[in-house]
Amino acid sequence: MRGLALEGLPVGAKDWIRLGGRAVVGRAVLGAALPYPDAAFDLIVCALAIHYADDRGAAFAEFFRVLRPGGAAVISTQHPVIDWLRKGGSYFDTALETDPGRIPGGDQPVRFWREPLSAPCTAATGAGFLIEKVIEPLPAESMRARYPDDYQKLTTEPGLLILRLVKIASHNAPDPRGDPAGPDLRAVTTAGRLHRARGPPLAGRLAGQ
């Protein structure tokens, strides 16, 4: 198993203990060229990181490149609606936003990109992916007692968006000079990490799915 910890989102001591030496961890910048050959991975998991990348289209293109044909990518991000409700303005704008980040050394501004739902979908299909699932998860029942206010809010407003993307075995990346969505209609997504799955292809599954 190999993993990738994105720059600025390091793997901590607890992660190393949990991995138990079964993974090789490296660093890369999300949206830049990844240090892996073509078709190197069966499964890609990018958890709550894609909205920090300045070039999301390039990030999806690199995911597509390093994923083997028939492989899958699971991408989670902040839901565009909740960001729009918090920040205001036009839902359809693409804007670089800032939130206060709370870390042990003190608060630090955290930048992220706010954009409509169509933007990550277009970036994914433009890279060559088929969108297999679009998931807007509800809060776990265990939140009801511990975080009642958050639980109530997340049962009425979306908090997260999850995309499950598939690289069709016979499909190559689209010609960047053509339609970014490709010739056919392919859609009626810690640190972000890449994992080479052990065992049967696509053995990794999204929890709860």
pLDDT in tens, 111-120: 999 999 999 9
Mean of all residue pLDDT scores within the chain? 78
Q: Tokens for 148?
A: 């009642």
Q: Which residue has the tokens 């994992």?
A: 195
Token pair belonging to 158: 């979306």
Question: CA–CA separation, 67 vs 156, rounded Å?
Answer: 36
Tell me which of 66-75, 112-121, 186-195 is least confident.
186-195
Task: Give the lowest-confidence range in 20-24, 28-32, 139-143, 198-202.
Answer: 198-202
Three-state SS sequence of the chain:
CEEEEECCCCCCHHHHHHHCCCCEEEEECECECCCCCCCCEEEEEEECCHHHCCCHHHHHHHHHHHEEEEEEEEEEEECHHHHHHHHCCCCCCCEEEEEEEEECCEEEEEEEEECCCHHHHHHHHHHCCEEEEEECCCCCCCHHHHCHHHHHHHCCCCCEEEEEEECCCCCCCCCCCCCCCCCCCCCCCCCEEEECCCCCCCCCCCCCC
**Mean pLDDT across the stretch 195-205?**
34
18: pLDDT strictly greater than 50 = yes
pTM for this entry: 0.73
Give me the residues paired with residue 166 across strands.
72, 130
Across the range 186-207, mean pLDDT stands at 33
Q: Which residue has the higher pLDDT, 14 or 163?
A: 163
Q: Which residue has the higher pLDDT, 26 or 109?
A: 109
Q: For residue 99, which of 83, 110, 84, 113 has the smallest C-alpha distance?
A: 110
Domain assignments of the chain as residue spans, ordered by start: 2-77+119-145+158-195
Architecture of the 2-77+119-145+158-195 domain: 3-Layer(aba) Sandwich (3.40)
**Angle between helix 56-66 and 118-127 (nearest 10):** 40
**Mean pLDDT calculated for residue range 180-206:** 33
Q: What is the pLDDT of residue 191?
A: 40
Asked whether the predicted pLDDT for residue 90 surpasses 90, the reply is yes
**78 CA to centre of own chain:** 10
